[in-house]
Structures are given as structure tokens and as C-alpha cells.
Amino acid sequence: MSSTTSAANPSAQVTVQVEGKSVTFPTQLYINGEWVNGHGTPLKSFNPATEELITAVHTADENDIELAVQAAREAFETTWSLNVAGAERGRLLYKFADIIEANLDTVVALEAADGGKPLQWARGDLMASLAAIRYYAGMADKIQGFTCEVGDPSKSVTVRKEPIGVVAQIVPWNFPVMMWAWKIAPALAAGCSIIFKPAENTPLAALYLTKLMEQVGWPKGAFNLLNGTGKVVGEPLALHMDIDKIAFTGSTAVGRHISACAAKSNLKRVTLELGGKSPNIVFPSANLQEAAKWAAFGLFETSGQSCIVGSRILVHEDIYENFVSDFVKVVEKIRVGKDPKAFYGSLISKVQFDKVLNYIEIGKKESKLETGGARHGDKGYFVQPTVFSNVNMTHQIAREEIFGPVASIIKFKDEKEAISIANDTTYGLAAAVHTLDASQMARVTRRLRAGTVWVNQYSVLHPNVPFGGVRQSGVGRELGPNGIENYLETKVKADD
């Protein structure tokens, strides 16, 4: 892997070799429709599958942040927002999706290299991203209010939906492009102007996508991009008095801090999609082979580095031994590595790699290791798919979000206990129920405290279906009609 820049002093543009492709893109900040040098400490971007440096990128300091906020505010007040009709905003989003699709292989290559993903998964993320952009393109001219009578038949009230204003958006490293789409598409469809901060570990696809955005024709300042760390860039955005909303996807700890910053500053609106420790419940009536396959899919996709992974697999005592056997057989067939046919790739960094291996060592002391439990290969941050049985809710691996390919299989004796164990967590992002009993399906899904409950499947998402969590898994919903509502205010006009 090669680059035409140095890590200490990034050039304005680089050419890198990723996944057999030569890709050229800017490494600077994007402010007010221009690529400009950042004045912060450069960030290095590594391929975690090879541990090799890809390139370094510019980052923002406080003055760069201020320029971006000013540009976004100016665009919102003058050239964007209510000055561009919804149909035109939709047209621009459709055009952007078409441009991305025309460059799909390049974006996929950058996403795969920057995040250590197999190409097939990076491609799947891109296709999901295009679906989300096109969904919100179609909603841009369908933002509706209403008019109602207020007592006196001669008087009425008009309720309008208007864009919130300047929004800051911060995304994680596990789904850099998909989270990009989930954030920017509804915000632009609503007419907000954006300051976007990619994850510090995975900035490259966002830079390339911003380069593609220049072909669309957005007004200057409608979209701005600032690279940097959470402390140097993310926190000042959350504290800024002229930003009207912040949307964040990431850890619960950081989400809590962002929420506090928003309250401490101007009480800006906040949308948070945070962590999870999701239960995947298997009842005796389930098709065990299918349940085992879905449980493996729902845990090991993205190397287990997803907030929705079903890392707690709850299994009825009558089928426990049979399920464990079936599940281990499925898991031991999982292919790991850079191979395009691999089911999952590397962890994102040495820090995450060490963290997951430490949890595995804890699990070996707490419970029974069924398979895996070690590094995969001798280069790159790959970890074997790991399964622990005889786990209970006093165990650390059952309570804490590991964010790696580690399964905890927990036994329960009846439906009541299954629900109790499933809800015994501070999180509430997702859950799943595997049963062929329709009555049980209805009872259990209703009682689980989670934003999404899948039945006889796992991790199936659609752009028109709201997604988000309860309790410490977040605030608000993305996707679906809720996604655009996040970026709209309600205004009432009362007639004389």
C-alpha cells in the first residue's frame, strides 16, 4: 500500500493503492465549498487488516471549526434551507446517489481498506447507503404540516415543519459510509446545513465522497467536513453556541458526554445512537439450525463491531446442549481474513484488538470456551470467532459491550426468566426472538425493552423503517419518517 504524502505533513491530495485500485482524493478540510488546509495535528489512517499506513489527513483546530460554523450558518440563512424548494433538494440527493453509484468500486475499495472489511461487506454497506440517500431524496418534497380550526370557525392555525438549522454530525468507524448516508441524507432533505466529522480511524471514504459531492451543485456551506479527534473537534461542536443540533453514533460514554455538552451550551437538539448488549432468545419451538445460523450472522458480521450484535444468546434449558452444538458447528465454518469470501475481517485497531483479547481471557476464567479464543493469523487485527457457554449475568462478558466476535450463551428455564435476563441490561438497542409459537412471539416481543426486535432473523434493516434504542442505547430514531423529523422544527402560525 503506498501514498504520495507523509504522515507528519499531509499534502492537499494523495494517490493511494487500495484493494488493487489507485485512488486519488483530497486530504484537507472542506469548508464553504473549498478544500482548505487544516491547522490541527494530522491524523494517520491505517489499514487494520495489514497494519500498514494508508495516508495521513488534515484536521481542524478551533479556528477551522469557527469558519465551518460560519459557512454553515450563512448557507442556511441565505442560499440553502427555505430558499431551495424540497423538490430541488431531492433532485440534488438523487444526483448525488447516481454519482456515488458510478464510482461505487472506488468507494468500496476505500471503505474496505480503511476499516479492514472484506470487499463483499463494504459493497453491502454502500448499497444500503445508496438506498438511504434515495429514500430521503424522495421525502424532500413531502414535508407537510397542517391547518386546523381553533374554536372560532373564522380563525385557524397553520402548523409548519421547518429545518432546525446548522447541524453537527459525528459518525463511528464501524460503518463509515452507511452512517454518513443515515446522517447527511435526511438533514439535507430537510434543508439543514451540515458540519460533518468522520471517525478519526476511518476518514478516507468521507473525503472521497465529499469530492464527489462537488459534482452535485450544492450551495457553498450547505455541507462542510472537519476531520479530527473527538476531544479537539467533536466536543467543541457539541459545545458550540451557533450549532442547533448534534447527531452522534458511537459509545454510550461519549454520547452521555455529548448530551451534557449540548445541555451546558445552548440546549441544542440531540440525536444519539449508542451502545448495546442485545439478547437473542431461542425457544424450544424454534428451528434450531436456522436459529444457529441467524445467531451467528447477527453476532459475527463486521467482526462483532456493531452496536446491534446479538452477543447474549439466551437458550432454553431443554434445547441448550443441542443448540450449543449446532451453533459451534456453524461458527467453526466462518471464514476470517482479507479474503473477499471471508465472512468478517479485522478489528479496527490495536487498541480494540487488545481490548477484545482481554475480554476473551476474562471469559476463559468465568465460563466455558467452546471454540476460538485467540488471534487469527499473525498479521492484522484478526480475532477468531469465539463462543463461551455456561455464561450467566454475573459474568463480565455478559454485561459489558465487548465490540468483537465473542458470543455468550446463557441458559434459561422458562419464558419469564428469558424476558428477565434479556431486559437485565442498561442498554436497549436491539433483540431477537426465535420461536414458531405465534402467541409466544407476540408476548415476548411486546415485553422486550429494545428499539428493534427481530423474529426468526437478525440484523435486517431497511431505510424506511425507524431504527434506534431505548434506555442507554440512545435518544431518537434514524431512518424512516423519523429520520427526517430529527432535522425539523414545528412552527405554529396563528391567524388573527
By annotation, the residues acting in catalysis are 273, 307
Pairing, β 152-163 against β 146-150: antiparallel
E strand or H helix that includes residue 387: strand 386-391
Between CA 99 and CA 102 the distance in angstroms is 5
Between CA 270 and CA 248 the distance in angstroms is 8
In order of 101, 125, 128, 298, 313, the CA distances from 131 in angstroms are: 11, 10, 5, 21, 31
- Alpha carbons within 13 angstroms on the beta-carbon side of residue 142 total 9
Burial 102-128 (b: 16+ CB within 10 A, else e): ebeebbbbbbbbbbbbbbebbbebbeb
Residue 70 contacts residue 195 (beta carbons within 8 Å)? no
Task: Give Cβ neighbours of residue 464 (< 8 Å, ≥ 6 apart).
Answer: 135, 479, 480
Between CA 223 and CA 230 the distance in angstroms is 19
By the 10 Å C-beta count (0-12 exposed, 13-18 middle, 19+ buried), 371 is classed as middle
C-beta neighbour count of 129 within 10 angstroms: 28
Q: Which grid cell sits at 418?
A: 428469558
